[in-house]
């Protein structure tokens, strides 16, 4: 019996031949693919070491059709959401980026790592969670470390990673800016106060194209009321060395209508992380909307 990481182990009932249990092979002890295997069972999601008996067999992953691009990666950020693939997660993006940087095909990396090519495609394109044995094999195949593929140093300040080989900086259109504003829940508002310019993070909502956030009277974010402010939101993708930022300039006002306040509270996706009573809603009307994006090939 031989298997690759990502293959399925099926255990049948000796009496009926029906499937009794099945699971995904997530670890292989020997380079030639022979048992024992680490198996993540589909019924419990537990991983156990298995020495398959005569009632077990391996179901190999089918390879993708020849006319399907082998290197299809995650959809570009500008792709409409109903056409996007699932977010592959940081491990998948790091694997795909390093493989493409070395100009290796999936088949080449999968062969080096001792796993099915279709499983590698799954890791790169879906939110997979390969175990440490699988990550280590991929790291060895790519000449890097498991810690790097798993996001070692993720707690470091963003932006300390290496710049991409061929970055492209371009301006975002107003519609693209609005699309990105609607994907986030935390932004930063810059306010001029008697103590000087202050920048504070706030949980926000986008309501009829306006930025809305809750705060407490007397708190720093409340000082925005009646002034012109700047509001910024951004996203940094360390795995791909790319990102974007959107900047909003406009007047801020307090929401005083009781019905409007109730509607805002009802449509809010989250409560302010700072907690406490925050009855004041502040609305920023976008007067100028700009944004930039760093994209990599």
Write out pLDDT tens, residues 1-34: 888 887 888 888 666 556 578 888 878 877 788 8
**What one-character-per-residue DSSP string does 212-262 give?**
EEEE-TTSGGGGGTTSEEEEEEEEEETTTTEEEEEEEEEEEEE---HHHHH
Residue 225 has a pLDDT of: 93
- Answer yes or no: is pLDDT of 66 > 60: no
Is the domain spanning 169-296 CATH 2.30.110.10? The answer is: yes
Q: Which residues contact 109 (CB under 8 A, 6 or more apart)?
A: 95, 99, 120, 138, 141, 142
CATH says 81-149 is which class? mainly alpha
Q: Model confidence over 76-135: pLDDT tens digits?
A: 333 333 333 345 567 888 888 888 878 899 999 999 998 888 888 888 887 667 777 888
Q: What is the dihedral of CA 84, 85, 91, 92, to 10 degrees?
A: -120
Break the chain into its structural domains and give their ranges.
8-59, 81-149, 169-296
pTM of the model: 0.51
Which 3 state secondary structure label does DSSP give 147?
A: helix
Q: Which two tokens stand for residue 249?
A: 């300039």
How far apart are alpha carbons 104 and 71 in whole angstroms? Answer: 10
Distance, in Å, from the CA atom of 56 to the CA atom of 59, rounded to the nearest integer, reads 10
Mean pLDDT for the chain? 79
Q: How many Cβ atoms are within 10 Å of 35's Cβ, its own excluded?
A: 19
175-178 long-range contacts (CB < 8 A, ≥24 apart) are 176/78, 176/291, 176/293, 177/246, 177/289, 177/290, 177/291, 178/206, 178/209, 178/289
Q: Describe the strand order of the beta sheet including 19-28 as a list of residue ranges.
A: 47-50, 37-41, 19-28, 8-12, 56-59
């Amino acid at each position: 019996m031989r298997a690759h990481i990502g293959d399925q182990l099926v255990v049948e009932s000796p009496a009926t031949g029906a499937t009794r249990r099945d699971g995904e092979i997530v670890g292989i002890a020997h380079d030639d693919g022979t048992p024992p295997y680490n198996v993540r069972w589909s019924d419990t999601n537990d991983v156990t070491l298995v020495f398959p008996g005569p009632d077990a067999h391996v179901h190999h992953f089918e390879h993708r059709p020849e006319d399907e691009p082998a290197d299809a990666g995650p959809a570009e950020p500008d792709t409409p959401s109903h056409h996007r693939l699932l977010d592959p997660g940081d491990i998948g993006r790091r694997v795909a980026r390093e493989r493409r940087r070395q100009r290796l095909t999936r088949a080449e990396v999968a062969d080096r790592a001792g796993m099915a090519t279709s499983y590698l495609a799954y890791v790169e394109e879906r939110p997979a969670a390969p175990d440490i044995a699988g990550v280590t094999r991929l790291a060895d195949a790519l000449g890097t470390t498991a810690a790097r593929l798993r996001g070692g140093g993720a707690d470091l300040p963003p932006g300390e990673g290496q710049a991409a080989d061929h970055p492209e900086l371009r301006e975002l259109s107003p519609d693209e800016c609005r699309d990105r504003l609607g994907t986030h829940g935390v932004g930063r508002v810059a306010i001029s106060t008697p103590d000087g310019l202050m920048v504070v993070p706030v949980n926000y909502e986008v309501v009829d194209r306006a930025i809305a956030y809750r705060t407490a009277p007397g708190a720093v974010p409340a000082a925005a009321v009646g002034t012109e402010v700047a509001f910024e939101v951004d996203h940094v993708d360390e795995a791909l060395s790319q990102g974007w930022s959107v900047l909003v300039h406009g007047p801020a006002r307090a929401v005083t209508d009781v019905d409007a306040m109730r509607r805002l509270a009802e449509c809010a996706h989250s409560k302010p992380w700072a907690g406490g009573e925050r009855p004041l809603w502040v609305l920023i009307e976008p007067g100028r909307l700009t944004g930039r994006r760093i994209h990599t090939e």
